[in-house]
Amino acid sequence: MRKWIRFPHKEGTISRQAHADFPEEAIYERELGRSGFFGPSSHMHHKHPPTGWSQWEGPLRPRLFNLNNLEQTTGSPWQATTVLYNAHCKYRFWQCNNAMEMLVRNADGDDLLFIHEGGGNFYCDYGHLTLTAGDYVVIPRGTMWRLEPAATMQVLMIEATNDSYQLPEKGLVGDQAIFDPAMLDVPAIDDAFKAQQTDIPWSVQIKRNDQISVVTFPYNPLDAIGWHGELSVARINWRDIRPLMSHRYHLPPSAHTTFVASRFVVCTFVPRPIESDPGALKVPFYHNNDDFDEVLFYHAGDFFSRDNIDKGMVTFHPAGFTHGPHPKAFQAGREYKKKFTDEVAVMLDTRDALEVGESIAVVEDANYVNSWQVK
């Protein structure tokens, strides 16, 4: 058994409550925490912004990728651009223009699709779903599936390598908080699914150890006529998420957890009222999340803690340095200029260091590290 060393202590000029009621000479609070936002933490108060660097050298740095500038279209998700990866997670971005001419099956782990743009029909072992922008689709390992876009689809794909997706424990707030599991949709064996059950040959691209094997059938193997059980593809849209809120306290990102795997979590930031208590912090707090790498995909809206960030961009903040709101956003939060957020973003937090995909450097903004400097 292990136990964190814990000894609550107060030193110097502080606020008694984290993220609220800062003394005027100590408005720059920085959280140092372990195990994401679940372990022991301390809150420093600084004279200057913890992100007020004037120069940066070396490979460790905040990074920004503009996926809108990717020039890639492919009929297979296994050829999608790898943005980030480690032994437990693969983070890809896929543009699918036309109906897939094959089925695919991932033998390496569960897949999570987030539909950034477009929509269409999704066919799998379990039946048929109609997808639209903002949908999450959890695909259990070993499931055969394909897409038929009604219009060009842009899809964020997060693989739980050698792992599975589960729902977070919701503790005191109960299982129906954030989203009720009853909101999860599963595929249907409907007329559209039955109509595609033909005797035309179909091939299945199976990914195992990142190698592709192809198995061909003289018919469409999505030929189920029924099923029963509790394992299935599941879908939920971000619009069905009802975020936890506190008008007096800025909740940590972990309060917005949507899916969990063994070595990472996926969180969803959706529109919500901004904290209204006069003393409450109204933007994300500066923090050292030194047990996790943090990745944010910006889907829609005005990203209130960032400056010059548009939809379709990805920020990557590796563990090892303080990060937090940009200067303009911090000042706007102090002035309580906005009363409501309208951002939608998908966050990935990984316990293991992420590597950058080889082909993604062409869409990186190398000047992002300087975006915290006051101009």
Residue pair 292/34 in contact (Cβ under 8 Å)? The answer is: no
Q: Is residue 8 part of a domain?
A: no
- Predicted structure pTM score: 0.94
H-only helix segments in the chain = 191-195, 327-334
- My answer on whether 228 and 93 are in the same domain is yes
Q: What is the pLDDT of residues 17-65, one digit of tens each?
A: 888 888 888 788 888 888 878 788 888 888 888 888 999 999 999 999 9
- My answer on whether 178 and 302 are in the same domain is no
Confidence (pLDDT) at 305? 65
- Written as one string, the DSSP assignment of 284-332 is PPEEEETT-EEEEEEEES--TT-SS--TTEEEEE-TTS-B---HHHHHH
First to last CA, the chain: 50
Tell me which residues of the chain have a pLDDT lower than 50: none
Range of the domain at 324: 24-64+243-370
Confidence (pLDDT) at 317? 95
- My answer on whether 77 and 185 are in the same domain is yes
Q: Is residue 9 part of a domain?
A: no
**Of 218, 238, 258, which closes a domain?**
238
Q: How many domains in the chain?
A: 2
Confidence (pLDDT) at 117? 97
CA–CA dist 286, 28 (Å, integer) = 8
C-beta contacts of 1-9 below 8 A and 24+ residues apart: 4/34, 4/39, 4/40, 5/40, 6/40
Q: What is the pLDDT of residues 180-220, one digit of tens each?
A: 999 999 999 999 999 999 999 999 999 999 999 999 999 99
Burial degree of 24 (CB within 10 A; 0-12, 13-18, 19+): exposed
Confidence (pLDDT) at 375? 64
Confidence (pLDDT) at 330? 80
Q: Is residue 4 part of a domain?
A: no
